[in-house]
A and B are shown apart, each in its own frame.
Chain A
Amino acid sequence: MSSEARAASFSPADWGGGVLPYRVGHRKLGMWLFIISDSLTFSALLIGYSYLRASNVWPTPFPFFPSIVFSSVMTFCLLSSSLTMVFGVSASSKGEKGKARKWILATIFFGLAFIVLHLIEWNHLISEGLRPFSLPAHWVTVFTAADGSLPSPLFGATFFTITGLHMFHVFTGTIYLAVVAARVKKITHEDVEISGLYWHFVDLVWMFVFPLIYILSVDVGGHLAR
């Protein structure tokens, strides 16, 4: 018997704190607390990136194709994976475990599509010459400011760190969901819901990474293409 099930049999009068004051199990509360701490990790990274960006000349190198098209399709994949995940959790709440498993497998598919597209996008940038601590030579020429200030070589460091950590979260999420899909008939509904919380969090982080990293670094005038 789980501690939540035992707690439900208590009367609130048995102790002063009430039964399940948040009306969620301890595992779900634990996942929420993890999400809070992980949000702060990503916030700190994105604010560190903004700090560097505001104090330096910053390159804006992303062309419409491939970068923006790829990142938009990746956004679509993550948003759709969240939808399939919520369908999975919904099916699981009705006790339709087989259906829940199919929706979770669809979620994993979209997650893997995201990773593959992201790695192709990384490969474009790496083959162009982008490294964590240096820019491709032609980017330096194009993005040097009118007063002669050179663009920050830390573009690659921020880009690879933030998108890399996010991609790592997607990767661990697909493994987590694969375990949940495999064991869906043995675990409780709340455990499926908890895996959903983690997956939606990964989607939520991308809602900030995408505009800050990609949309704000669009090469609007096509300077690099010339």
Chain B
Amino acid sequence: MSAHIAEHFAGTNKLFISIWAWLLGLTLIEIFLAYRPMPIHFMLTILMGLSIIKAALIVAYFMHLKFERLSLVLTIVPILVVCICLLFVFFPDSFRSSDLRYRFKEEPPATTEESH
């Protein structure tokens, strides 16, 4: 293997320990949030925000992408983000089927077991 690839691993152990501490801290915040009463949309937004920060820390420092060439970053990150965003196209259908659900307005059914 050529030396110019091998010598390229940057970052000190102190940096990696501080990233690990940040990741643990953000996880503790998530667990704490689980027991705060709040609307689920709000909770989901905060949790996903924290998770994206954690993912970015892992990718940038542990997976070393911050120290790679910009051309590599631009090749692999935007396509992933775009593809994941495209998957959100299914959610309007999910909300539609939620509205289609039959609601027992008068009284709940006597049996509560699923029958399939």
| Residues of A that sit less than 8 Å from B by CB | 2, 4-5, 7-8, 20-25, 29, 32-33, 35-36, 39-40, 43-44, 47, 50-52, 54-56, 68, 72, 75-76, 79-80, 82-83, 85-87, 89-90, 93, 134-135, 137, 140-141, 144, 147-150, 153, 188-190, 193, 196-197, 200-201, 203-204, 207-208, 210-212, 215-216, 218, 220
Contact = CB atoms under 8 A, between A and B. Distances in A.
Instruction: Specify the main secondary structure of chain A where it touches its partner.
Output: helix
A48 B17 CA distance: 35
A216 B40 contact: yes
B6 A93 contact: yes
Contact of A86 (B16, B54, B116): B16
21 contacts: A20-B5, A22-B69, A33-B76, A39-B80, A40-B80, A40-B84, A43-B83, A43-B84, A47-B87, A47-B88, A51-B94, A76-B27, A79-B20, A79-B24, A90-B9, A141-B112, A189-B5, A190-B6, A207-B54, A207-B58, A211-B50
A32 B76 contact: yes
B20 A83 contact: yes
B16 A90 contact: yes
Given A43-B84, A51-B94, A56-B98, 11 more contacts: A24-B5, A24-B68, A24-B72, A40-B83, A55-B97, A56-B101, A72-B27, A82-B20, A197-B64, A200-B62, A203-B62
